[in-house]
Structure 1
């Protein structure tokens, strides 16, 4: 799920070249003004699309409220003479494509073309940003007082997130009249381009490598125990979230480091932008100060003598070319924060030369380096089992050949090896005496199933703990790539990637049911990066028929998350267990997702039970 620097660079380049601009001629509920002076609110109109899109405008007056000399270069103007209509924004972005020559506080008149720019392109489903392009700018005076900022706070942001899209317009909200008193997205759209302010606000998304963080202006909205904003359903979007960037280049003003639960104190003020990687964003002309609250990385308790501890951890594209410091930090987390689980399913283990796309698929060097680091950190000398994928058949970074791997502590657990499992050969369930057994261990589940196209195939293994067989299935389901954002102009947004994950979940559920059909009380553990929420159709498909139950649902709601995305603390990583497992203790161990300094962007999960 992490956003790559390469993608960011490509988008910034495209922005500068104007390659992603899209002009919409769709009608708005606001009619074009009569002949005469055009003002900013005439351009913005009362819907998301400008009634003047595609048209030339001349001598639009405004005060410059912010200047951006990087990324999408340009400046914002705001008309100090508001029209009194809450639905019409008084601010607009002027796209220059080169370093602007105006300064904040300049009174200007701008001529140019009104366009609707869609960050990420029309296929992304993103809303558009109304802007003036190919501008001619006349500076009339300098040093003017800026229009007073609009304060965004808990009282002003509605509790409802967005209206339902118009079925006659493909479920789009683009042409619907804005209702800023009723819907949060309508409020933010009505302030697009305007000078806005937030007061002291809690950080709900840590500072990232792109110099962004997320705050909430609603301190009591779906709070987690550690200070985040939990995403607990498709109707709980957390309306108070707002992304914060700064207008000053980091070379001039370093961006603050903040963890979830910290507080951005004082006043943060600047134009309200809309971008591809977060939607509505306060581009701060003045940025408050981060006050740390000392969030600590969690440590789970050690397993007891008769407890089997099974964990999952996405180690984010680990390969031998990564710095030793990354291996050491991940290893320390396994030993210290996860208390050296008996079985550890890893996701995103890359092959021996990482993203070098030369046909290499073996990952023994990656795993040797990692298990050595764990031992050096004071952990057990883990053994491992895996199945090498076919080259470039499992998705992920091209050439990286990510796969799932079992690490296990041979001092406490034994692995039952049954030969024959490879990238294309399916393991099956048979009866051996009175017990279920795998035909291949380790083996892949139904690898020819179209559900796994360009995606990781589940890895199944048969373990023995204190004389009891435990079946473990490690997964890394298809990503959410292609899904529309919460701020999409389609409401509800399209979640097209769910289709494949549901099919994957059905295949894993069928395998778990097959094990239980042979041995009703068999202990089955299904775990990994499921890439979906505990309330999602994919999770329901995994649990179908009572074959499995999602362990994270045993936690209090305020602790159900493993990932933080755009200020929403949410579930992606899961462990599910069969009814035969009986009582269990579950823990989502928060060591990464809430922190600006991360060894992975996922939090590991662990379950302990007595087989």
Structure 2
């Protein structure tokens, strides 16, 4: 029913008692319970003021009550009558109108309720006299209490103990006929009370529970609880270990190699990929230092599990490469019930992740793909909080390698196989670029390969936040210059070559490179990593590029082979847009293995002059053990800094040569923006145009998940004012390597590796044409006047004879300031500025390149001539006595550059008519003008008439063919061009060719690495030069067929 609200007021006054004891309470209110607080405040046994009038009773309302009744019982009312009170200002008053006349004495019982018609909270009793208004005894309210009997069912067979919890009281229940019961005595009455019953198995599992909410009424209450079965496992006969105890608080489990029984909720089933599943303790141990989950390795014996399933298993604790796991299962049981484990939120910095190993985790913040290098090989992506990671020495942001590491987490594919056939996370374009993002990543945290990885339990929803750019950003200007690394563009495919492994791969590479260069559409392009095989690879690229344009759009600056590396830099240009000014220039400083290449151009439209320099500095890899090691900017940083300083000197010469201050340095400097080599160049008068690019876009290369720009555009201060824009076209660094031209491990018919399972993401587009992004610069050049070049040319015969004069003719456009010639044989000569010829005599045969250098007006020009020099006649000094043994051939070029044979040798021939035992003989050698002789003893061999004898000498590092089996061996390093050889009867060193023990003697000169001095016929010995000829070496030993002499000596 509906009641008007009543005010609650305190009671305080005490009326005088009449000395009478209160009669027992004989009537109890049993009105239906209504909602009320679970407990009612107010002290028990409180004395209340009772006002007695002939027609009314008034009492102070106890605290917490909102309704009061008075029950009067007397001689005239033996059955009693209830009078409801009206509450006002904390006083409850009852109108007693209608009482029978006569006896004024009554026993009065006062009851206070939580709500009108509700539960009795307080009761008190006393005797009164209505006529006199007296009370026989103080009115004392007492808190009403009652017993609560609790029953709970059904009880499971595995439940061995049940307890009931009511407020702060706990009662152990007893079970009979599948029903548990127990009683709470003296429970204060209330309109709402809740009891909770919990059942446990003998091994401590909570098997079932239930609750009931009820009113505690005056006179007692019965509460019935319906029990619900909870997730639990069969009773274990072995002690059960909590999962957190298996993990422990350290890096390794404290229970290593122990057999344990654990229970938990299956949070992820990766048995098809990781060959195991993850279980997590349903409640956890509350210790922040210990993980609540563990990986269960099943290997080739998978278990039938479902995510959310409660399981119990027994196995051995192991550390698999520092990842805690339970393996070698001896028991496994599925338990009743399922549960969902709430994921732990992780936010950067990602430190101290050991305490979450194996647990279900989620990342609420947006993560960015910052590393896709291993995407194709292992199906994993490196993700970072707060955007992509930049190299600390790039200059974009202030960071450290340690700070970067704390922002990175790896997303795995829950698969241990390499080169997976199906790649997760690919977008519709068949790629997954760095810079793309994912939010709300959820999975389990797994430790493998020395890093923590997220194995997703919900498919990550990637956003293509960094879509492929169809073309480079507009850089403005009337002239565009690009720098592009073409990733080892090789036209040959041997095992020693760096590029494509086959013509098929090369065609795929070429297609992407041509697409990239055509997309840049620059007027001048500097190229890095072109094969250094003359201009063969360069011309192939230009031809292919022009085919794509459908016209001869580009020409190459022809340099031939440049430097000592297998790759070189190169420059191509559009002849319709620019013209060459003078010859190309190469920095010949020995500090460079890939020398910078420079060419001056003039803009055909505006007339501006510009010198472009292509660069490729020493890489950061192939680190030495000592010396120029990595101190924070990669290995060889000092060498790169020296190359930068040398480049500045080269630039000074270029400015003088072109008479123009506009120089643009392009290329792969293998140094990030804030590193010493770049800072050296900037301090030398150059401006980094890359700094015009916004910091978040300023990168051209990805390494180990960190980004930076190794590819630079550095303009001289004068040229910087003419730059209109710069961009890095992000077609390569953001792409996974799987998109490149290679077919290794891919599902491609041309794949030749032992496994060809990865998807082939190659497409006919520019993306992943290289590992470096190209740089594009826009220019509005100021018009310049071009100075006429100083010219030099040379001419001369292509052949000459050793020791004979050779003349070279010289022609210059104007009188030179200096003039010099390098004859190519180690001899140089300074000529007068008016010289028109130069003469030189070569000491030995060979091919020589003559280089003439002339300077005039600050310009330097060189010109060359190749000369092939033939050998001078062999000079033979006759021996002092006639002998039957002769030296038939001498060769000192073995093992040298260009040689066929690997060793020097001396050949002996028996030109006599009788055999000679060579035991005790020796061959001896001295330099052409020397007097100190080296000795090689001969072996004891009976050398028959017409038979040859071969003495092998020192071996060089060159040559391709070993000598025939020698008859004797020595270690004498003979000169390839000139020397003395003697055949001696004895082994003591001679003092000269006239010693009595000398049986034959030959002095030779004018030979080379590829020629020997041999007798025209071995039987002829006239002690004349005509006995010998210079030619291809033909070593012969005792195994060679004898040569019969017609008239043996």
TM-score range, shorter chain: 0.5 to 0.7
The Cα of 1:292 is off from its aligned counterpart by 4.0
Q: Distance in 1 between matches of 2:562 and 2:651?
A: 28
Q: Structure 2: any 5+ residue segments left out of the alignment?
A: 1-238, 391-395, 492-502, 740-766, 783-1049
Cα distance 1:471–1:347, how it changes in 2: closer, same or farther (>3 A)? closer
The CA distance in 1 between the partners of 2:618 and 2:303, in whole Å, is 49
| Pairing 1:324–2:507 present | yes
Alpha-carbon distance in 2 for matches of 1:480, 1:78: 44
Deviation at 1:209, TM superposition (A): 2.7
Correspondence for 1:472 among 609, 613, 620: 613
TM-score, normalization by structure 1 = 0.63
Q: Is the 8 A contact 2:644 2:680 kept in 1?
A: yes
User: Between Structure 1 and Structure 2, which shows a larger proportion of helix residues?
Assistant: 1
Q: Is the 8 A contact 2:587 2:597 kept in 1?
A: yes
Verify: 1:606 aligned to 2:746, yes or no: no
- 1:253/1:567 CA distance change after superposition, 3 Å: closer
Distance change in 2, residues 1:471/1:571 (3 Å): closer
Residue 333 of structure 1: which of 496, 510, 516 is its match?
A: 516
- Residue 560 of structure 1, CA deviation: 1.3
Distance 1:83 1:506, change over 3 A: same
Matching residue of 2:727? 587
Q: How does 1:266-305 map to 2 (within 5 A)?
A: 268-276=441-449, 279-292=451-464, 295-297=467-469, 298-301=471-474, 304-305=477-478
1:376 to 547, 558, 561: 547
Whether 2:355 is the aligned partner of 1:190: answer yes
Structure 1 residue 287: deviation in Å? 0.8
The equivalent residue for 2:590 is 446
- Selected match of 2:646 from 501, 504, 511: 511
Give the 3 Å change call, closer, same or farther, for CA 327–88 of structure 1 in structure 2. Answer: same
Instruction: Write the distance in 2 (CA, Å) between the matches of 1:99 and 1:579.
Output: 70
Q: 1:511 to 1:245 in 2, by over 3 A?
A: same
The 5 A counterparts of 1:136-155 are: 136=329, 138-141=331-334, 144-145=338-339, 147-152=341-346
**Which residue of 2 is the match for residue 546 of structure 1?**
684
Q: Is the 8 A contact 1:50 1:116 kept in 2?
A: no
Q: In structure 1, what is the equivalent of residue 694 of structure 2? A: 556
**2:633 aligned to 486, 494, 498, which one?**
498
Distance change (3 Å), C-alpha of 1:530 and 1:209:
farther
Tell me the SS of whatever aligns to 1:237.
helix
**Unmatched tracts of structure 1, length 5 or more:** 1-35, 118-128, 159-183, 225-229, 352-360, 395-400, 419-439, 484-493
Give the Cα–Cα distance (whole angstroms) in 1 for the partners of residues 601 and 243 of structure 2.
70
Deviations 1:512-532 (A, max 9, x none): 331355558744433333344
Give the superposition deviation at 1:383: 1.0
SS for the counterpart of 1:498 is coil
Partner of 1:315: 486
Give the conservation status (yes or no) of the 8 Å contact 1:480–1:498.
no
Moved more, 402-411 or 38-47: 38-47
1:342 to 518, 523, 537: 523
What CA distance in whole angstroms lies between the structure 2 residues aligned with 1:553 and 1:325? 34
CA distance in 2, matches of 1:70, 1:532: 44
Partners of 1:245 and 1:503 lie apart in 2 by 38
Report the Cα distance in structure 1 between the residues aligned to 2:246 and 2:665, rounded to whole angstroms: 54
Q: Quick check: 2:275–2:297 contact (8 Å CA) kept in 1? A: yes
Whole-angstrom distance in 1 between the partners of 2:397 and 2:274 = 30
Give the structure with the larger strand fraction.
2
Q: Specify the SS of the correspondent of 1:539.
A: helix
> What is the distance in 2 between the residues matched to 1:93 and 1:293?
34
Q: Does 1:408 align with 2:543?
A: no
Residues in 2 aligned to 1:284 and 1:245: alpha-carbon distance in whole angstroms = 7
Query: Partner of 2:351: helix, strand, or coil?
Result: helix
> 1:472, CA displacement in angstroms?
0.6
1:89 aligns with 2:291: yes
What SS does structure 1 have at the residue aligned with 2:538? helix
Q: Secondary structure at the match of 2:486?
A: strand
- Cα RMSD (Å) of the superposition? 4.2
Q: What is aligned with 2:597? A: 460
Contact 1:590 1:603 in 2 (8 A): yes
Alpha-carbon offset, residue 201 of structure 1: 3.7
3-state SS in 2 of match to 1:246: coil
**Secondary structure of 1:59's match?**
strand
- Structure 2 vs 1, CA of residues 131 and 523 (structure 1 numbering), >3 Å: closer, same or farther? farther
Cα deviation, 1:43-102, whole Å, max 9, x if unaligned, reads: 54445x32649x423216254433545786544443334232333333344566657556
Asked whether 1:362 is paired with 2:533, we answer yes
Q: How far apart, in 2, do the equivalents of 1:134 and 1:364 lie? A: 61
> Tell me, what secondary structure is at the counterpart of 2:635?
helix
* Structure-2 change in CA distance of 1:523 and 1:261 (3 Å): same
For the structure 1 residues 417 and 140, does the alpha-carbon distance in structure 2 shift closer, same or farther, using more than 3 Å as the test? farther
Task: Note the C-alpha offset of 1:507.
Answer: 1.9
Q: Which has the higher contact order (CA 8 A, sep 6+)?
A: 1
Contact 2:618 2:636 in 1 (8 A): yes
| Cα displacement string for residues 245-279 of structure 1 (whole angstroms, at most 9, x for unaligned residues) | 333796678543244555546x54322234559x4
Deviations 1:434-468 (A, max 9, x none): xxxxxx83455535x7xx6xxxx343323333574
Moved more, 279-288 or 495-504: 495-504
Alpha carbons 2:475, 2:778 under 8 Å: kept: no
In structure 2, the partner of 1:21 is none
Separation in structure 2 between the aligned mates of residue 556 and residue 95 of structure 1, nearest angstrom: 48
State the distance in 1 between where 2:357 and 2:446 align.
Answer: 6
Would you say the 8 A contact 1:505–1:542 is kept in 2? no
1:157 to 348, 369, 372: 348
- Matched-pair contact (CA < 8 Å) for 1:40–1:60: no
Does the 8 A contact of 1:563 with 1:593 survive in 2?
yes
Alpha-carbon contact 1:383-1:410 (below 8 Å) kept: no
Q: 1:534 aligns with which of 673, 676, 681?
A: 673
Q: What is the Cα deviation at residue 564 of structure 1?
A: 4.4
For residue 242 of structure 1, the aligned residue among 399, 409, 413 is 409
Answer whether contact 2:579 2:601 (CA < 8 A) is retained. yes
Distance 1:69 1:540 in 2: 53
Report Cα offsets for 1:292-340 as digits up to 9, x if no partner. 45824142437644x4x3322223344453353542333232223x2x2
Q: Which residue of 426, 431, 437 corresponds with 1:256?
A: 426
CA contact (8 A) 1:38 1:58 kept: no
Superposition pairs of residues 65-84 of structure 1, within 5 angstroms: 65-68=267-270, 73-84=275-286
Return the index of the structure with the highest Cα Rg: 2
Whole-angstrom CA distance in 2 between matches of 1:363 and 1:63: 67
| Inter-partner Cα distance in structure 2 for 1:384 and 1:99 | 66
- The CA deviation at 1:104 is 5.2
Q: 1:296 to 1:498 in 2, by over 3 A?
A: closer
Cα distance change, pair 263–303 in 1 and its aligned pair in 2 (3 A): closer
Question: Equivalents in 2 of 1:234, 1:94: separation in Å?
Answer: 37
